[in-house]
Structure 1
Amino acid sequence: MQFGKVNNPGAIDFSLPEDHPGTAKVLAAKKNKKEFEVYVGCAKWNRTDLKGFYPPGTKDELKYYATQFNAIELNATFYKMPDWKQVDTWKNKTPQGFRFFPKLTNTITHYKRLIDVKQEVSVFCDAVSNFEDRLGMAFLQLHDNFKPVHFDRLKQVLEDFPKGIPLGVEVRNEEWFSSKAVNDQYCALLEKQGMTNILVDTAGRRDMLHMRLTGTTAFIRYVGANHPTDVARLDAWVQRIKKWRTEGLQQLYFFVHQNVELESPLLAAHFIRSMNSTFGLNLKIPDKAGEQGALF
């Protein structure tokens, strides 16, 4: 993942910002004793990107991947509109408890830029609904140059979005974060629609680390920099998640990216170990991650 890549990650202050005041409020308002649901995965299952992760002779990468992780951030649906047959094929390669997190197709977000996309959204949602119990949450990622001046387009799409499909939203343009009034309006819309405000932790865009949850679900896209700081950053996330859990966090969706994806399973394995230890969980630690060698 090249978004937010910098030439010298060692010069970046990777400390997590303080929580937005709205986060504690929204967690407290919906706090209950529900079991903590945690899903951790990588961005893709491609053998080329995850070199060394698959045992020799692996014939079906997704089928093996799904024995090692309980979730996948599904970027394939961003580049091509899925159909129900493809979704059915993917679903049937995974065990119960596995979750897919499909990204809305770029026709909707980047080419048509949310203009007159009701039919495309319907086609997408009809397809991914076939994941059935394997569907985690769809997510809508807007182009870097999609600005708050087009807020009404986004509002209309979110209000019309099928209620049976959970949705996270990722805005990228700096103007969504630089204006308090704009950000408050945006977050209020997500809260009203019961949608998740996606957090992105990447070196070159620290403004996207807004620490503003809009519900009891945290959807975090973590982008490592292939640098020794990556591990400490993950440890800091575990501590912040611990705080959120005491305040009422119910679901965590955490996806590990890298500028060079080779080390993603290693970083994910480190994060899973820390989560298991901190929360008394029993998440699977990927087998081959331990055989790839030490990080850095």
Structure 2
Amino acid sequence: MGCAMWTHAPWRGRFLPHPLPPEERLRTYATWCNAVEGNTTFYATPARSTVESWARQTAPDFRLVVKLPKSITHERRLNGAEEELRSFLDAIEPLGPRAHALWIQLPGSFGPADLGTLAGFLRRLPHTYRYAVEVRHRAFFDDRRSEGLLERVLAGVGAEWIPFDTVTLFRSPPTSDAERDAWVKKPRVPRRTAALTDRPIIRYLGRDATEHTVEGWRPWIGTVTEWLREGRSPTVFIHTPDNADALTLARRFHDEVRARVPEVDPLPEPLPAEPPTLF
């Protein structure tokens, strides 16, 4: 279980101690959740020393789903990005087993005609890592042939298809600035619940109102329960437009799954946001 980030202003002093030095932020987040989306790497390849710090702050079984830089996926569109890819792979090497999957998020314009490029790119990747692809072109959701072709490309290299479930967000008009911003920026695609591998990954986006977020994730509770009973090991990321309560929502989702599958390990006990007092 995890969130879209490990530090967020609305969490400071409320869920997480504040202030926290950079070398303690991921460690403290990891007392709440045991996975996190590595979104920061989309904007720039981190220094290797930064990644070494991430590794020091987390246990080997902590899961980071690390996004490839946009220079590879969006600017070069997987073509001629060998140097950028080498730099990225070298930078994240200290994560070791914490790199649960490398996340290839493709732009909305990357469609069925580009599947040959994706197939060639995936075949050239080192076998050291697992890979997961997120697509946003509507044809992959609306056209069965395009969907099947993509599934075959991914299955050929053992890669997963990451669904970004925004159905709840778009179910009714936005009611806050954060929701209005999400309406503009997030993809409007159907919900997809099929897993291709034994390690499926879900990105779920709810609403700022907790009751709407919880109601919207009901289908996922059943799907994740089924996957666990099949022997799969899913990773679930909970988002809301403002993410103010994402930490507690992630733990609530986990609790609902454990109520159905009690053998799932509990999440860690969170560190208190404030130090204990004598009175």
Pair in the same fold by TM > 0.5: yes
Identity value in percent: 26
Residue by residue over 1:168-208, the C-alpha shift from the partner in whole angstroms, topping out at 9 and shown as x without a partner, is: 00000112222111110110111110001111111345634
- Please give the alpha-carbon distance, in whole angstroms, between the structure 2 residues aligned to 1:138 and 1:92: 19
Q: What secondary structure, in the 3-state scheme, does the structure 2 residue paired with 1:158 have? A: helix
Residue 42 of structure 1 pairs with residue 42 of structure 2? no
Q: Which amino acid aligns with 1:209?
A: R
Could you say which residue in structure 2 is the equivalent of 1:89?
53
Could you say which residue in structure 2 is the equivalent of 1:154?
118
Q: What secondary structure, in the 3-state scheme, does the structure 1 residue paired with 2:218 have? A: helix
Could you say which residue in structure 2 is the equivalent of 1:216?
198
Could you say which residue in structure 2 is the equivalent of 1:225?
207
Could you say which residue in structure 1 is the equivalent of 2:181?
none
Alpha carbons 1:200, 1:221 under 8 Å: kept: yes
Higher relative contact order (CA 8 A, sep 6+): 1
Residue 277 of structure 1 pairs with residue 238 of structure 2? no
Q: Any unmatched runs of 5+ in structure 1?
A: 1-39, 292-296
Q: Which amino acid aligns with 1:287?
A: P
1:244 CA drift (Å): 2.9
Residue by residue over 1:208-239, the C-alpha shift from the partner in whole angstroms, topping out at 9 and shown as x without a partner, is: 42222212221000111113221122333111
Could you say which residue in structure 1 is the equivalent of 2:148?
184
- Please give the alpha-carbon distance, in whole angstroms, between the structure 2 residues aligned to 1:89 and 1:58: 14
Q: Which amino acid aligns with 2:226?
A: K
Could you say which residue in structure 2 is the equivalent of 1:64?
28
Residue 128 of structure 1 pairs with residue 92 of structure 2? yes
1:90 CA drift (Å): 1.1
- Please give the alpha-carbon distance, in whole angstroms, between the structure 2 residues aligned to 1:206 and 1:286: 36
Alpha carbons 2:31, 2:271 under 8 Å: kept: no
- Please give the alpha-carbon distance, in whole angstroms, between the structure 2 residues aligned to 1:55 and 1:234: 29
1:82 CA drift (Å): 2.5
1:149 CA drift (Å): 1.7
| RMSD, aligned α-carbons | 2.2
Alpha carbons 1:269, 1:289 under 8 Å: kept: no
Could you say which residue in structure 1 is the equivalent of 2:80?
116
Aligned length in residues: 251
Q: TM-score, length-normalised on structure 2?
A: 0.83
- Please give the alpha-carbon distance, in whole angstroms, between the structure 1 residues aligned to 2:204 and 2:118: 24
Q: Any unmatched runs of 5+ in structure 2?
A: 171-186, 275-279
Alpha carbons 1:72, 1:99 under 8 Å: kept: yes
Could you say which residue in structure 2 is the equivalent of 1:14?
none
1:138 CA drift (Å): 1.2
Alpha carbons 2:108, 2:135 under 8 Å: kept: yes
- Please give the alpha-carbon distance, in whole angstroms, between the structure 1 residues aligned to 2:76 and 2:18: 43
Could you say which residue in structure 2 is the equivalent of 1:103?
67
